Amino acid sequence: MNNYIGSAKIIEKKREFLFPCSHHFYKNPPQIVRGEMQYLFDSQGKQYLDFFAGVSVMNCGHCNPEILEASIAQMKTLQHTTTIYLNQPIVDLAEKLSHVLPGDIKHSFFCCTGSEANEGAILLARLYTGKNGIISLSNSLHGRTYLTMSATAIPMWRVDPALDTSVTIVPNVYSKDKPLDEAARDSLKEIEKVIQSKGADNFAALIIEPIQGNGGIITPPKWYFKELKTLLEKNKILMIVDEVQTGFARTGKMFAIENYDVVPDIITIAKALGNGMPISAFCANDEIASAFTKPSASTLGGNPVASSTSIAVLDYIEKNNLCEVAEKLGAKLKTGLLNLKEKHPLISDIRGLGLMLGAELLKENGEPASEETDLILEGLKDEGILLGKNGLGRNVLAFQPPLVITEDDVELVLSKLDKILCNL
Ligand code: PMP
C-alpha cells in the first residue's frame, strides 16, 4: 500500500481548491508520482515513456542525477539573496549563455517564467526604439500576463476581456487551403501592409516563435525569417524571437532560430533552461541591452539555485550532444511518421524540426479530427506512452520528448501509434 490519494481525489481537490480554469488531459488521468529520465511513473507503479516532456521543459530528462546534484549542492549552500548583494551563479550562467546564444547576443535579464521573459523583451524593445506597438502572429502563444496574453493569438488563451490594443495580430504561415510557401509569402505581405497602414513609427517589435508550439507545430519555410528580418530592419522594428518552447537543443540546434540562419534582436528563453526549475530570461546584444539602465530586478529570477541548475543543464546538453541526438532521432521519428501518413489518411501533415514534431489529423471533410486525437492519446496512454496535443482544433499530435530517449523509444512510439491508428 502507498499513501497516494489517487486520481479521483486529486480531481476532486482541484475542483475544490484550485480555480476552474485548471484542465487536464485524458478521461482517467494517472496520478504521476515519480520521474526518471524519459520515464514517468504513476501511483499504481505503471511506467510511461514521456513523449511530451512537460511541454518541452524536461529536455535533459526527469530527475537527471547530474543536474539534481548541482541543484541540491547549491540549495544546501545558499538558496537566495537579493540581487543587490553579489553572488556568483547568476553571472556564471549569464557568461555561459553568452557562448551559446546566437550572434552577438550577450546580456541576460533573468526572471522565472516564459511570460515574464516575453513581457521584459517587449519592455526592452520599447525602451530601445522609443516606439510602442507590437506585432504578433496568428496561432501564437506568448504568455499569460496582460501584455503577453494580448500578444497571444490562440483564441482559447485570450481570456482577458480587455486586452491591450497596442498589439496587432497578423496572419502566420499556416493555411489549410494554401501550400506553405504561398501562405508564408502572404504572411510577409500582410505584415508589410500593417506596417505601412499604421506607420513604422508605431511599432517597436514583432514577436514570433520560430516554430509555433501550442499553435500546432507550425514551421515556417527556410527563407521566411531572413525576409522577415530584412523587412523589420528596413522599418526599424525589432525582432523578438520567443524560444521558450523551442530552445535548448530541441530542434537539433541550441536555438530553433539557428535553423533559419537569422540572429534576432532579442531572444527569450525559459522552460528547458531550468529543466523543471523556474528560470527564464530575455537576452540582447550590447547595443540593445544598453537601453535598459533604470533599476529593475526580479526577486527570484536567476536566484543561486535556479542559476546553478541552469549551468548544469547547459553542461549536460553539451556533454551529451543533445543537439545531435535531437537531429538524429528527430529524423528517424519524422521518417516513421511520414510512413504512417502514407498508410493512414487521417494524418494530413507532418511538420517540425528535430524532436519537436507534429502530426496534424484531419477528417475526410477537412475538419480537425479532435475526437480521434483524443482517442489516440488515450490509447497511447494505456500502452504506456504519454504524448501531447496542440493546434487550434486540438488535432495535432505533439512529439516533444526529453532529449534522452533512444532509437528503441522512437520505434516503440511509431509501432504503438500504427497499431492504434489501425484499430481506430
Ligand atoms: N511562450 C511560449 C512559446 C510558450 O509555449 C509558453 C508556455 N507554453 C510561454 C511563452 C509562456 O510561458 P510560461 O507558462 O512559463 O509563462
pLDDT in the model for residue 1: 62
Q: Which residues contact 151 (CB under 8 A, 6 or more apart)?
A: 118, 122, 134, 136, 140, 142, 143, 167, 207
**pLDDT, tens digit (0-9, with 9 covering 90-100), for 355-386:** 999 999 999 999 999 999 999 999 999 999 99
The per-residue DSSP string of 139-198 comes to T----SSHHHHHT---GGG---TT--TTEEEE--S--SSS-HHHHHHHHHHHHHHHHHHH
253: pLDDT strictly greater than 90: yes
Collapsing DSSP states into helix, strand and coil, what is residue 327? Answer: helix
2: pLDDT strictly greater than 90: no
Please tell me if the CB atom of residue 145 comes closer than 6 angstroms to any atom of ligand 1: no
CATH 3.90.1150.10, the chain: domain bounds: 7-51+321-422
pLDDT in the model for residue 23: 83
Rounded to an integer, the average pLDDT of 52-74 is: 98
Nearest residue by C-alpha to atom 14 in ligand 1: 114
**pLDDT, tens digit (0-9, with 9 covering 90-100), for 131-186:** 999 999 999 999 999 999 999 999 999 999 999 999 999 999 999 889 999 999 99
25 confidence band (pLDDT: 50, 70, 90) = confident
Q: Distance (Å, rounded) from C-alpha 152 to C-alpha 129? A: 22
Terminus-to-terminus CA distance in the chain, angstroms? 36
Task: Tell me which amino acid residue 211 is.
Answer: I
Q: Distance (Å, rounded) from C-alpha 110 to C-alpha 304? A: 11
Domain 67-319 has CATH 3.40.640.10: yes
Rounded to an integer, the average pLDDT of 347-352 is: 98
Q: Distance (Å, rounded) from C-alpha 396 to C-alpha 251? A: 18
Please tell me if the CB atom of residue 372 comes closer than 6 angstroms to any atom of ligand 1: no
Please tell me if the CB atom of residue 244 comes closer than 6 angstroms to any atom of ligand 1: yes
pLDDT in the model for residue 82: 85
Cα of 45 vs centre of ligand 1, distance in Å, is: 31
CATH 3.40.640.10, the chain: domain bounds: 67-319
Among the atoms of ligand 1, which is closest to the Cα of residue 270? 15
Collapsing DSSP states into helix, strand and coil, what is residue 290? Answer: coil
> What predicted TM-score, i.e. pTM, was given to this entire model?
0.98
Grid coordinates belonging to 210? 520560430
Q: What percentage of the chain has pLDDT greater than the value 70?
A: 100
Among the atoms of ligand 1, which is closest to the Cα of residue 144? 16
Rg (CA), the chain: 21
**pLDDT, tens digit (0-9, with 9 covering 90-100), for 262-302:** 999 999 999 999 999 999 999 999 999 999 999 999 999 99
Task: Tell me which amino acid residue 87 is.
Answer: N
Query: What is the ipTM for the molecules in this complex?
Result: 0.99
Higher pLDDT, 2 or 164: 164
Q: CATH assignment of 7-51+321-422?
A: 3.90.1150.10
